[in-house]
Amino acid sequence: MPVARPPAPPQEPAPLKAAEADYIRQCVRKYYGDDAVIRNYGPDPRRLELHVETDMEPGMERHECLGLLMCEINRDYIGLEVTKRGHRIRGNAKIAYRQGQIL
């Protein structure tokens, strides 16, 4: 059996401007409600990595919300992960839970 890789060292997420953070909160809450938890977890300032934890089942809202974010925020890449509360977390959502910064 192959040896597992050691866990990645924690990295601080890239800081956001206050206006960007406010717009992200407003946009995400429009689609996922006021109880949605929004985390910024990407360390690269050229990329915006966001994770949303919500009570809703993830669906097409993700694409609409991502489109609005791309229109207003200027970054090389914007990623949006959505997880329903109580479901198992996978992939980048694990990184967001462990080292993400709540907006």
The per-residue pLDDT for 57 is: 85
List, for residues 44-75, the tens digit of each pLDDT value: 999 999 999 999 888 899 999 999 999 999 99
The pair of three-digit structure tokens given for residue 58, joined into one six-digit string: 């993830």
Q: Order the strands of the 37-40 sheet from edge to edge.
A: 77-84, 47-54, 37-40, 101-102
Q: Domains plus CATH for the chain?
A: 18-102 (3.30.460)
pLDDT value of residue 64: 94
Which residues, in sequence order, are CB contacts of 78 under 8 Å at separation 6+? 47, 48, 50, 66, 69, 70
Q: What pLDDT, in 10s, does the model give residues 2-42?
A: 888 887 788 889 999 999 999 999 999 999 999 999 999 98
Q: What is the pLDDT of residues 85-98, one digit of tens each?
A: 988 888 888 888 88
pTM value?
Answer: 0.86
